[in-house]
Amino acid sequence: MSFDGFVTGAVARQLNQTLSGAKIEKIYQPETDELLFHIHSKKEKYKLYLSSNSSHPRIHFIEEATNNPANPSGFCMLLRKHLQGGRIASIEQRDSERLIEISVDTLNELGFSVNKKLIIEIMGKHSNIILVDLTSNRIIDSIKRVSIDVNRYRQILPGQPYVYPPSQEKICAYTITEEKLSSILEHRKSKMAKHLMNHIQGISPVLAEEICYRAGAANDLEAETLTPKELAPVFRNLVEIQENGNITPVVYLNQEGSPQDFHIYTLSDFQETMESKFFVNVSEAISYYYSHKASSNRIRQKSSDLERTISGQLDKLYLKKQRLCEDIIKAENSDIYRLYGELLTANLHTIENGCEQATVLNYYDNQPLSIPLDPRFSASKNAQRYYKKYGKAKTAIREKNIQLEETNTDIQYLESVLTYVNNAVTFEEIEEILQELIEGNYLRKRKNNYKEKKKKPAPYSYTTSDGFRILVGRNNKENDYLTLKVADRKDYWFHTKDIPGSHVIVFTEGKEITETAILEASALAAYYSKGRQSENVPVDYTKIKFVKKPSGAKPGMVIFTDNHTIYVNPKELNS
């Protein structure tokens, strides 16, 4: 992983230099596995972010604001009790492990000085944040509790002694010498890079490859012949660079501009194939990497949960639609019941009681017709029963058609919401879609809901190459806002034909719309739709005055007339 032992050491060094003696003012827990500390150091204020998420655990400074629950969790309240108002004594890394210890001096309820330690274990799926009392070395609590059922060697529970993660007999990278390397390589059976990674603390795969390269190995074959004498100077150099603060925090970007990796050293494998983005300090590099990559992973994680929920509801609606259609077809074939009742009534005098079947002449086609009977009832009663079945079927057609229309409306609405979820690029968009679904009673209101602040709509904004302003709704509520409240009657409305997507508004501002504006707005409407990955997407457009919202319609649902259709390839404009 990117956050290896050397990166952890650089982070600990930066945090210690910046926050030593600083006061912890506020503590928040934005998510179940995340913490945010507001810290005042001299004349500066910092936001220290800690995550024990199994996919991207980390610790670094952040600048952006975060959503904080209205009701803090129990662990957050405990940290406020023990750490809030305290001063940071030191921030240190344990050996070269991915483990950072924040020592805090604070006062207890009686006013006596006490020492607590917050330990951040950055270990993939085993990552954790643990509060320990330094006097007794006992765990006060942790963000993730680990019972004996999960781990027999090491329980992370309140009151238990704190035990460090097992070292697996690895050697600290900061103390590597030629002699130690000789011992490590003496019985080597695996490849050089993997062997170094398996026997030295905090060495990631990319750093192991880099160490081999800096020792003079241009490829895997040459790496196999490296000696302790060639490797030892590389380790010493890496340690000196970190201790002297001469690190080079860098994020590597692929051709699409998406971060692929980061480190405090330049990595030869990535230098030639990827774009390098350098930063002043390691925290800035980490923050950039995760805000552009892991943050998008978090958005995908959030959106995938929401997508799964919506897809589940859609599956139920699809099944309901299928059954309704089957029931309607069955009910539409109910004319036979009317015929049975009519023929039985006309032949009452010829049918004896107790019969299971009556054969009568169908005077519509002059053919004999056998009618099933219930022997418990008379011919008259059987005729009444068939008339009743016929009446029920006709009522069912009417009622089930109404249900089918409501089901189709729900399907259309949820398919549009699913499109917005798939196209979302920020947490705010996901939160607004969640709120829309809660208001529409498609989701339950969350118990631990975030503080509800009425946010001003912030649709996507673009300008055509010939100067027309364009706004695009990010969800159904914004679609309604743009189409019904912001746009003028003479402005133009664009939407993909029979495909879920955003409302796109072109503001004419008294000018005649141009062909260029129509083409670019249509391409934008196709881009912000379910047809983003398709070609020749049909887009309807018309003036706003021809767009109406039916009474009681769901958010984003409108009807329109006097429209034209154009076929375009989806394309995003420059903002």
Tens-digit pLDDT profile for residues 539-570 = 999 999 999 999 988 999 999 999 999 999 99
Q: Is the pLDDT score of 297 beyond 70?
A: no
- pLDDT value at residue 83: 94
- pLDDT value at residue 449: 45
| pTM exceeds 0.75, yes or no | no
Where does the pLDDT of residue 122 fall: very low under 50, low under 70, confident under 90, or very high at 90 and above?
very high
Whether 298-455 and 5-142 are alike in CATH topology: the answer is no
Q: What is the pLDDT of residues 484-508, one digit of tens each?
A: 999 999 999 999 999 999 999 999 9
Average pLDDT, the chain: 90
Burial 106-124 (b: 16+ CB within 10 A, else e): beeeeeeebebbbbbbbbe
Helix and strand element counts for the chain (H, E): 15, 22
Q: Is the pLDDT score of 455 beyond 90?
A: no
In this structure, what DSSP letter does residue 200 have?
B
- pLDDT value at residue 393: 86
Distance of alpha carbon 524 from alpha carbon 495, whole angstroms:
9
Distance of alpha carbon 290 from alpha carbon 43, whole angstroms:
27
- pLDDT value at residue 446: 61
Instruction: Report how far apart, in Å, the C-alpha atoms of 337 and of each of 159, 363, 370, 386, 477 are.
Output: 76, 16, 13, 5, 48
Rounded average pLDDT over 337-360: 88
Q: What is the pLDDT of residues 222-264, one digit of tens each?
A: 999 999 999 999 999 999 999 998 999 999 998 878 888 999 9
Q: Which of the listed CATH numbers 2.30.29, 1.10.287, 1.10.150, 2.60.40 matches domain 298-455? A: 1.10.287
- pLDDT value at residue 365: 86
Rounded average pLDDT over 354-381: 89
Indicate the SS3 state at residue 552. Answer: coil
Contacts 24+ apart (CB under 8 A), 60-65: 60/11, 60/282, 60/283, 60/286, 60/287, 60/290, 61/283, 61/284, 61/287, 62/36, 62/287, 62/291, 63/287, 64/291
Instruction: Report how far apart, in Å, the C-alpha atoms of 422 and of each of 149, 317, 459, 474, 532 are.
Output: 38, 20, 16, 11, 11
- Taking alpha carbons only, the member of 357, 389, 350, 388 closest to residue 372 is 357
- pLDDT value at residue 450: 46
% of the chain with per-residue pLDDT over 90: 62
Residues paired with 472 in a beta bridge? 460, 504
Rounded average pLDDT over 1-17: 91
Q: What is the pLDDT of residues 396-450, one digit of tens each?
A: 888 889 999 999 999 999 999 999 888 887 777 888 888 889 888 888 776 554 4
Where does the pLDDT of residue 294 fall: very low under 50, low under 70, confident under 90, or very high at 90 and above?
low
Residue 340, burial from CB neighbour count under 10 angstroms (0-12, 13-18, 19+): buried
Q: Does domain 5-142 have CATH number 2.30.310.10?
A: yes
Element containing residue 82 per DSSP (H, E) = helix 74-83
Q: Is the pLDDT score of 219 beyond 60?
A: yes
In this structure, what DSSP letter does residue 484 have?
I
Task: Report the amino acid identity of residue 62.
Answer: I
- H helices of 133-245, where? 178-185, 192-199, 205-214, 220-223, 228-243
Where does the pLDDT of residue 529 fall: very low under 50, low under 70, confident under 90, or very high at 90 and above?
very high
Say if residues 196 and 185 touch (Cβ distance below 8 Å): no
User: Quick one: angle between helices 427-439 and 295-332, nearest 10?
Assistant: 30
- The domain spans of the chain are 5-142, 173-288, 298-455, 460-568
Q: What is the pLDDT of residues 32-68, one digit of tens each?
A: 899 999 999 888 999 999 999 888 899 999 987 777 7
